Structure 1
Amino acid sequence: MLYGIAAATTALLLAAFLAALLRLLAQRLGILDRRRQRPLPLLGGVAVALVTCLVAAAGEWTRFAPLGSEMGRLLIAAGAVAVLGLVADVRRVKARFLVGGTAVAAACVVPYDDTGFLLGLPAVGWIVLVTVGFKALDHADALAGTVGVVTAFGVGVCAAAEVMDELAVLLSVLAAALTGFLMQNWHPARIGLGACGSLFVGFVLASSAVMTRAGHDPLSSVGVLCSLTALATADLVLVALSRRLAGRPLLRRGPDHVAHRLRRTGLTPQGVTVLLGVGAFATVLVGVLVHMGWAARSGVLWVGGSVLVAVFALLHIKPYGPRRQPSFPVGGDARPPAQVRSSQVSGQLRVRSG
C-alpha cells in the first residue's frame, strides 16, 4: 500500500518535470504537430511511457513490487508500441504499419492459457481497436490523458478485485504519470501526447483489461470490456460512419471526432474535456460494478444503448464545410476564367499576325 502511494507520487512528479523538459527539446528538434491551430510539441508521450516503465522497473529492482513474467512482457510490448509511435511522431508512417505492429505486440501479451486460442484472436483485435481508439482521442487538449486516467483507475480496481496486485500498481503508476502530464497538456496545451503516448496508454489499458477478464464468461466479458473503453470505441465508430456517409477516405484527418462536434455546439475546450471525462467515468463505473458483481449484467446493455444514441445524435452535427465551387460570371461566357483569358490571348495573337 505504502509502496503504491510512493510510486504513484514519484511518477506524477517525474512526468510533470520530464514533460516540461521534453517540450523544449521537441521545439528545438522541430518535432511538432503542425496540423493544429498552433504548432504543438509532441514528446509528451515519451515522458508518460518512460516514467511508467522506469517506476515499474524500480519496483522490480528493489523487490518492493516484483513485476512477474506477465507484467514484464506487457511492459516490453507496450514499450515497443511506444517506440513505433515515436517513429510516427518524428516522420510520416503509414497507418497499416502502426496497426500491424500493435497487433504483433498484442499477440504477445494475451493470456492464452486462460482465454484459449479461439478467444485469444478476438482479444488481439480488441486490443488493437482500443489502442487505435486512444490515438484517435488525442485530437483535443487533455482529452486522451483525462480518459486514460479514468480508465486506468477503473481497470486497476478490477485488477485489485482479481488479486492481481502487480497489475493494479502498474495501472496506478500509469494514472499518476498521466496526471503529471496533464499539468502541461491542459488547454491551452504546451505539449501533446502524440502517437507515442496515445498508443502506449491505449495498449496498456486494453491489455490490462483483457488480463483482468481472462477466464470469465466471454459474453459478459465483452460487455465489461466495452464499458471500460466506451468513449474510445464510440469515437472510432462515429468517425468511421461519418466519413463513410460523406464519401471521404477513412484515413483522412478531419474535424469529425467527438470533441470537434461538441465544440460546434458552443462548448469551450475545457468544457468538452470535462463533459467527456464525466461520460468516461460513468461508463467505466458501470464496467467496474458489473465486473465485481455489484450490478446486473444488463448494465452494460444500457451503456451500449446510450453510446449508440450519442453516436447517432452527434452524426447530425455536420463537421465538414461545403466544398468550394469555382465562381463563374453570371451570363456571357460560362467558361472558367482561365479558359477565357487563354482564348483572349490567342485572339490577340491572331489579330497581330494578321
Structure 2
Amino acid sequence: MREYLLVILTGITVTYLLVTPVKRLALLIGAQSPVRDRDVHSVPTPRVGGLAMFGGLLGALVMAKALPHMQKVFEETKTAEAVILAGGLIVLLGIADDLWDIDALTKLSGQVAASGILIMNGVRLTTIPMPDGGSLALPPQYGVPLTVFVVVATINAVNFIDGLDGLAAGVVGIAAFALFLLSYRLADVIDIPLLIGPTMIAGVLVGVCIGFLAHNFHPARIFMGDTGSMLIGLLISAATVQLIELFDPTLAEEYRIFPLWLPLLLVPMVVVVPYADMLLAVWRRTNQGRSPFAPDKHHLHHRLLRLGHSHRRSVLIMYGWVSLVGSCMVAISFVPPNSPDVLALVVGITLLVAALGAALMVGVPRIMARRAAAAAAEAVSDDTDSFTRQPV
C-alpha cells in the first residue's frame, strides 16, 4: 500500500504544481472558455487544464517505475505504454478542440484511434466473467469492438458531465477510488500480481483528479476542457477493461469472495450519473430532431441548479450519489458468495440512503425557498407597519 500511496501523492503534487504554468500557457495561446448561454461561469476562464493532468500522469508513472513492487507492470506488460500513448493522442485531440472547437465526428474518430492504441498494447476485453463462476471467451471480432465501445462511451459520459466547477474531476476521482479499492484487494490482499496494472492506473487517476480539483473547485481558476475530461474518461475505462480482462473468476470460489463479474458493473454503476446524463441527453436531443452532440442546458447539473441548489451544493450532491453507489459496490465485493442476507442488507441500506438523499435533494430547496419568501413577506409587513405608525 505504501507504494500506491506514494504514486497517488506524486500524481497529486505534479498535477497541482503544473496547473499554474498551464494556466499561463492557456492565456498565452487564447485557450479560454467564453461565456455562453449554456454555461454557468460568468467570466472567461482558461482551459486545457487537462495538460497538467497528463503531466501528473507521466510524473506518477515515472515514480511507479522506480518502485520495486510496481516495476512488474513495466517489465511484464505494456500497460504504462498503452495509457501514455493513448492518453497523449487524446490530449492532442482535446487541445485542438479546446482551441478550435473541432466537429463531433473528428473527436469520435480520435477517441476510436485512442481505443485502438490501448487494444494494440494488450488492454482489451478477451473474456467476460460470468455469474456462474466461469468466463465467456471473446474472439477478436467481438472483443475489439466491445472494448472500443466501453472506452468511447466512458470518455463521452465523462465529457457530458463536465459542466460545473469540479464536477468531472470529483466524480471520476471518486469512481477511480472505488475501482482502486477493489483492484487493490484483488492484487495485494488475494495476491494476484497481474492486477497491479489496473490498480496502478486507478491510483494514478485518483491523484491526478485530487491535484487538479484543488484549482478547479468552485470558483474554478481553470477548466480541464475536453483535454482533461477525455483523458480521465480514457484512464478509468482502461483500468476497468484491464481489471476485467486479467481477473480469473475461478478464484472467487477459492477465496470465498463475491463472484467477480462485479468489475463489469463497477464503473457503469459508479459512473451511473454521467452515463445516465449522457443517455438522457442523446434521447432528448434525438427526439427534438437535433444532433446527439448538440449542446443544451438540460443536463442533470443544470436541473439541480434550477431546483434551487447553489453551484457548490449541486456538485456535492453529485459527489454524494457517486460515493453512495461506489461504496455499495465495494461493500458487495466483501460479501461471501453464499451470504444472501448480508448482500440484501448492503443493498437495502444503500436504497434507504438513496431514498433519503432524493427526498432531501428535492425538499431542501423548497423549504429554503418558502422560508425566504416568508422572511421577505415579514420584512415587507414590518415596513408597512412602520409607515402607518408614522405621525401625520
TM-score, scaled relative to structure 1: 0.78
Q: Which runs of 5+ in 2 are unaligned?
A: 129-137, 188-194, 250-258, 363-392
Contact (CA 8 Å) 2:47, 2:225: kept in 1 or not?
yes
SS where residue 114 of structure 2 aligns?
helix
Partner in structure 2 of residue 346 of structure 1: none
SS where residue 162 of structure 1 aligns?
helix
Partner in structure 2 of residue 3 of structure 1: 3
Partner in structure 2 of residue 246 of structure 1: 288
Amino acid at match of 1:288: V
Contact (CA 8 Å) 1:49, 1:82: kept in 2 or not?
yes
1:29-86: CA deviations, max 9, x gaps?
2101113432111121111111112221232256563233232223321222222112
Amino acid at match of 2:113: V
Residues 166 and 119 (structure 1), Cα distance of their counterparts in 2 relative to 1, 3 Å cut: closer
TM-score, scaled relative to structure 2: 0.71
SS where residue 294 of structure 2 aligns?
coil
* C-alpha RMSD over aligned residues: 2.9
Contact (CA 8 Å) 1:228, 1:288: kept in 2 or not?
no
- Which shifted more, 217-226 or 120-129? 217-226
Contact (CA 8 Å) 1:159, 1:167: kept in 2 or not?
yes
- Which shifted more, 290-299 or 170-179? 290-299
Of 86, 89, 94, the match for 2:103: 94
Quick check: which has more Rg, 1 or 2?
Answer: 1
- Which shifted more, 178-187 or 157-166? 157-166
Of 162, 172, 193, the match for 1:148: 172
CA-CA distance at 1:166 after TM superposition: 3.5
Of 46, 52, 65, the match for 1:41: 46
Of 111, 121, 124, the match for 1:111: 124
Residues 224 and 242 (structure 1), Cα distance of their counterparts in 2 relative to 1, 3 Å cut: same
Partner in structure 2 of residue 340 of structure 1: none
Residues 1:287 and 2:329 are matched in the alignment: yes
Residues 1:74 and 2:83 are matched in the alignment: yes
Residues 10 and 218 (structure 1), Cα distance of their counterparts in 2 relative to 1, 3 Å cut: closer
Contact (CA 8 Å) 1:225, 1:287: kept in 2 or not?
no
CA distance in 2, matches of 1:204, 1:292: 25
Partner in structure 2 of residue 335 of structure 1: none
Residues 257 and 270 (structure 1), Cα distance of their counterparts in 2 relative to 1, 3 Å cut: same
CA distance in 2, matches of 1:211, 1:228: 17
Amino acid at match of 1:43: V
Residues 8 and 40 (structure 1), Cα distance of their counterparts in 2 relative to 1, 3 Å cut: same
Contact (CA 8 Å) 1:102, 1:128: kept in 2 or not?
yes
CA distance in 2, matches of 1:154, 1:62: 23
SS where residue 190 of structure 1 aligns?
coil
Partner in structure 2 of residue 18 of structure 1: 18
CA distance in 1, matches of 2:264, 2:67: 37
Residues 148 and 224 (structure 1), Cα distance of their counterparts in 2 relative to 1, 3 Å cut: closer
Q: How many residues align?
A: 308
1:237-316 maps to which residues of 2 (within 5 A)?
237-293=279-335
Amino acid at match of 2:286: R
CA-CA distance at 1:101 after TM superposition: 1.8
1:153-175: CA deviations, max 9, x gaps?
01112221331224323322221
CA distance in 1, matches of 2:63, 2:220: 30
